[in-house]
Amino acid sequence: MDERKELMLYLHVPFCVRKCNYCDFLSFACTEETRSRYVDALCRELRERGREYSGRIVPSIFFGGGTPSLLSPAQLSKIMDCIRETFSVRADAEITMECNPGTVANLSQEQETEKLRGFRAAGINRLSIGLQSANDEELKLLGRIHDYQAFLKTYAIAREVGFTNVNVDLMNALPGQTLDTWKATLERVLALKPMPEHLSVYSLIMEEGTQFAAWESQGKFEGKLQIPSEELDREMYAYTGTRLREAGFSQYEISNYAREGYACQHNVGYWIRKDYLGIGLGSASLIDGVRYSNGTSLEEYLKDPLAGSEEEILTRSDQIEEFAFLGLRMNCGIRRADFETSFGEAWDGYWSEIIRKNVADGLLEEDAEGIRLTDRGRDLGNYVFSQFLFD
């Protein structure tokens, strides 16, 4: 077994064809020339920062965004070559790329096939496709650049070129969505052949500064476009868990479901607080208890990718809080032994009363190993997590 300390890699590609109406991620449209300069800046940052971590082993790489599938296969290969020259990447590393159907589906069948085959050849072995909804009216309202047919085309080609580990991102609690329209989306996704290995399902959050937030304050989300009530949101959540279990998925985190052996290793790494290095505009890193954040000005990043980076040393309390509220997101919960290995003491001094109360309320279950949320606790996750924060 390789004893080297692990370091996951995240690469941020902040470009999108256009902004979706609900999105508050760091992403924007750009020219081909900017994209090419950005790839060079990413490689520069990888080489500069990588020097410090030559003794680490990389178990997973994640290209997120924005829309990483806007890159060409040649650009992606250039970044992957740079990663392999700079870091030791485990032979079986999970290498994920987020893919937006609209960025490939406007190509001809041959071009799209070639593009996805190129990503595969560059080393991507897990594709995460942003579908969000299988209902074209909902996709239009969300401001997505694709319809359901475009997704079907991308999905089929992804399978054809050999992607055997595919996630589909979905969103519920959309304005105007009913339990029936949500069920129809789920059924369409479950009818895909072969079925996706992984599904991520998040409820829509009205983020400040988005088009959706503006429409909400202008009263657009009324009548037919009413935002689902909290009760309906919970009903959708409960239905999703039951239906996906029936279909052979197991829920391993509040919003994530996988067929056996396909939990996302990279995301699990975040929740158990593995070290990760974020490369690219606005990306964050957590290494040996220090959080680093890159600047968010594209102009400055292109000039000097290392300028504008800030560091915050996490206190012991910060780290203990994170251990609890990230770990409890997962269905397996948190283990006493892991706490003791990380912090050199038992957790009783911090949480025994909170655990007792939440067990009594049916929100947590406890055994000799540790604690985890119950089904009811998952429903009220934010309430449970808030109790594990220090004042």
Which range of residues in 12-20, 45-53, 200-208, 281-289 is near ligand SF4 by CB under 6 A? 12-20
- Neighbour tally for 54: CB within 10 Å: 10
Interior/surface letters 311-334, b for 16+ CB within 10 angstroms, e for the rest: eeeeeeeeebbbbbbbbbbbbebb
The pattern of x and - marking residues 38 through 77 that bind ligand SF4 according to CB under 6 A reads ---------------------------xxx----------
**Residue 241, SS3 per DSSP:** helix
Nearest residue to 147 via CA among 182, 102, 177: 102
Dihedral angle over CA of 151, 155, 157, 161, nearest 10: 150
Q: Applying CB under 6 A, which of residues 60, 100, 200, 283 lies at the interface with ligand SF4?
A: 100
Q: Which stretch binds ligand SF4 (CB under 6 A): 21-29, 106-114, 209-217, 271-279?
A: 21-29
- Nearest alpha-carbon partner for 275 in 53, 44, 34, 119: 53
DSSP one-letter string for 324-337? HHHHTTBTT-EEHH
Pick the closer one to ligand SF4 by CB: 17 or 314: 17
Per-residue contact string for residues 108-147; x = within reach of ligand SF4 by CB under 6 A: ----------------------x-----------------
Task: Tell the smallest beta-carbon distance from residue 20 to ligand SF4 (Å).
Answer: 3
User: Taking CB under 6 A as the rule, does residue 19 contact ligand SF4?
Assistant: yes
Minimum distance between the CB of residue 215 and ligand SF4, rounded to whole angstroms? 16
| Residue 25 touches ligand SF4, criterion: CB under 6 A | yes
> Which range touches ligand SF4 (CB under 6 A), out of 18-26, 35-43, 83-91, 208-216?
18-26
**Cα–Cα distance list, 303 to 47, 165, 354 (Å):** 15, 37, 49
DSSP annotation string for 53-98: GTT-EEEEEEEEES-GGGS-HHHHHHHHHHHHHHSEEEEEEEEEEE
d(CA 195, CA 166): 9
Q: Work out whether 167 is an interface residue with ligand SF4 (CB under 6 A).
A: no
Residues 225 and 312: their CA atoms lie apart, in Å, by 42
Cα–Cα distance between 369 and 335 in angstroms, integer?
Answer: 6
Q: How far is the CB of 38 from ligand SF4 (least distance, A)?
A: 15
* Nearer to ligand SF4 (CB atom), residue 19 or residue 243: 19
Pick 96 or 251: Cβ nearer ligand SF4: 96
165 is an interface residue for ligand SF4 by CB under 6 A: no
Going 26 to 32 to 38 to 42, the CA torsion angle's sign is positive
Minimum CB distance to ligand SF4, residue 127 (Å)? 15
Query: Closest distance between ligand SF4 and the C-beta of residue 25, in Å?
Result: 4
Amino acid at 13: V
Position 280 contacts ligand SF4 (CB under 6 A): no
140 or 356: CB nearest ligand SF4: 140
- Residues near ligand SF4 (CB under 6 A): 16, 19-20, 23, 25, 27, 65-67, 100, 130
